[in-house]
């Protein structure tokens, strides 16, 4: 069976670096195999020394904490380690307070880098902690899930969830470095790997028709965790994210909002179901199909596009239909609390065709009526 890289006709490499261009706050996204062991030396190269903070989850910590601590120790760092429970339900103000308390009691300083070792929950929460501690300390993202490597760790969005909605309490705080070791993806539970592929598909839909077509031609290759094949796939997504972030860092012009394809309905679904029923990527997959349907209903795309989006997600093993036990009006209420709403209108990401997305201003009820 061909690897994804072979199917996409791109070279197989063991490391790629993508630059996020933000002037004085520019940084590298390093995607590679076994780059986790280089964390300490890379922090030294960035000018850090002495102490550092390390936030991880109990599950990720059991797998990679010792390896990371060894890399840090070899580079002369003494880490302050905080472990929190695993799961989206812990991306909360209560957990944030626990992290802040531990770091402050340990005497963290303004030039002490804070390392986020884990998936999107750890990255978002740790980034927000870094944004608020001492009015801002450096953060280094070390994402260990596919979803975080291709999306969440890049771009400086940090947040915790609130009962009213997902990611409603947060800040923009760019990392000093993103270090994505695709080798760790081999320890991901199958469900989490598949959920991460939803974000890969998203990048295909909104701006990379070649990536989408490669996955579509043989989706099984994306489910084979070949680290050297995953480097170019993750890097392709990182390049697209980096370009969008560089053009619209704080979602002020609208360019960056394109990255939210599938997320309006997906976030609403996560909120309504209490953040525990669906993984983020699963909710986004359902949201992407819903967004494609809305796009067709308002005349932005044709039925073939909807079929292709739904078909690829389904063949990757992702859910594609809204659960029958979730009321549409509950989804509408959750959408109204969406942080991207302006004067009651949602900047909804539609798809014109695979590889091209478009923002359309819609009320929550207009979306619900077309689901």
Same domain, residue pair 161 and 274: no
Same domain, residue pair 28 and 148: yes
| Contact between residue 112 and residue 137 where contact means Cβ atoms under 8 Å apart | yes
Domains contained in the chain, number: 2
Q: Which two tokens stand for residue 176?
A: 């000093």
d(CA 94, CA 357): 37
Does residue 57 belong to any structural domain of this protein?
yes
The catalytic site residues sit at 135, 157, 199, 241, 251, 256, 260, 263, 267, 280
Same domain, residue pair 295 and 172: no
Strands 27-32 and 15-20: what pairing?
Answer: antiparallel
Write down the pLDDT at residue 5: 54
Of 242, 347, 352, 247, nearest to 292 (Cα)?
Answer: 352
CATH of the domain at 98: 3.40.50.1970
Write down the pLDDT at residue 364: 93
CA 72 to chain centre: 25
Does residue 216 belong to any structural domain of this protein?
no
Q: What is the mean pLDDT of each successive set of 10 residues along the chain, which is 371 residues long?
A: 51 84 97 96 96 97 97 97 93 96 96 96 98 97 96 95 89 98 94 96 96 90 82 94 94 84 95 91 97 98 98 98 94 84 85 96 94 90
What are phi and psi for residue 300, nearest 5 degrees?
-85, -35
Q: Which of 187, 204, 224 is the last residue of a domain?
A: 187
Write down the pLDDT at residue 227: 82
| Contact between residue 194 and residue 316 where contact means Cβ atoms under 8 Å apart | yes
Q: Residue 347 sits in which domain range?
A: 261-368
Task: Identify the residue whose tokens are 């469900």.
Answer: 191
Does residue 41 belong to any structural domain of this protein?
yes
Does residue 250 belong to any structural domain of this protein?
no
**Global confidence as pTM:** 0.89
d(CA 312, CA 296): 17
Does residue 212 belong to any structural domain of this protein?
no
Same domain, residue pair 265 and 183: no
Q: Which of 150, 170, 187 is the last residue of a domain?
A: 187
Same domain, residue pair 16 and 157: yes
Helix or strand run (H / E) with residue 27: strand 27-32
Does residue 193 belong to any structural domain of this protein?
no
CATH of the domain at 311: 1.20.1090.10
Same domain, residue pair 36 and 183: yes
Write down the pLDDT at residue 32: 97
Does residue 359 belong to any structural domain of this protein?
yes
Angle, alpha carbons 327-333-335 (nearest 5°):
105
Does residue 328 belong to any structural domain of this protein?
yes
Q: Which of 170, 187, 204 is the last residue of a domain?
A: 187
| 78-84: strand order across its sheet | 15-20, 27-32, 177-181, 139-143, 114-118, 51-57, 78-84
Same domain, residue pair 159 and 284: no
Write down the pLDDT at residue 1: 38
Same domain, residue pair 183 and 269: no
| Contact between residue 331 and residue 368 where contact means Cβ atoms under 8 Å apart | yes
Same domain, residue pair 159 and 71: yes
Of 19, 28, 27, 35, nearest to 231 (Cα)?
Answer: 35
d(CA 166, CA 73): 36
Same domain, residue pair 152 and 29: yes
């Amino acid at each position: 069976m061909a690897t994804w890289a072979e199917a996409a006709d791109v070279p197989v490499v063991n490391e790629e670096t993508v630059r996020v261009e933000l002037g004085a706050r520019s940084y590298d996204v390093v995607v590679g195999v076994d780059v986790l062991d280089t964390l300490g030396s890379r922090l030294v190269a960035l000018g850090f020394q002495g102490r550092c903070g390390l936030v991880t989850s109990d599950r990720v910590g059991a797998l990679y904490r010792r390896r990371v601590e060894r890399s840090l120790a070899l580079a002369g760092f003494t880490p302050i380690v905080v472990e929190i429970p695993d799961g989206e339900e812990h991306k909360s103000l209560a957990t944030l307070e626990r992290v802040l308390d531990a770091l402050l009691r340990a005497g963290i300083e303004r030039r002490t880098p804070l390392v986020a070792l884990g998936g999107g929950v750890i990255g978002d929460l740790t980034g927000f902690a870094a944004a608020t501690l001492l009015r801002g300390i450096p953060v280094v993202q070390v994402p260990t899930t596919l979803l975080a490597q291709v999306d969440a760790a890049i771009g400086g969005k940090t947040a915790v969830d609130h009962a009213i909605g997902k990611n409603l309490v947060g800040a923009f705080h760019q990392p000093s470095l993103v270090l994505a070791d695709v080798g760790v993806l081999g320890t991901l539970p199958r469900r989490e790997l598949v959920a991460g592929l939803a974000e890969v598909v998203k990048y295909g839909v909104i701006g990379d028709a070649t990536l989408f077509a490669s996955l579509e031609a043989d989706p099984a290759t994306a489910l084979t965790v070949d680290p050297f094949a995953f480097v170019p796939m993750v890097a392709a997504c990182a390049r697209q994210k980096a370009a969008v972030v560089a053009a619209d860092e704080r979602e002020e012009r609208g360019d960056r909002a394109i990255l939210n394809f599938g997320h309006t309905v997906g976030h609403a679904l996560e909120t309504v179901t209490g953040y525990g029923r669906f993984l983020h990527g699963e909710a986004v997959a359902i949201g992407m199909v819903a967004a494609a349907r809305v796009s067709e209903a308002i005349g932005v795309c044709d039925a073939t596009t909807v079929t292709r989006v739904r078909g690829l997600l389904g063949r990757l093993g992702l859910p594609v239909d809204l659960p029958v036990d979730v009321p549409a009006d509950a989804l509408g209420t959750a959408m109204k609390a969406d942080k991207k709403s302006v004067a009651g209108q949602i900047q909804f990401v539609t798809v014109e065709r695979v590889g091209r997305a478009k923002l359309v201003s819609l009320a929550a009820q207009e979306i619900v009526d077309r689901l």
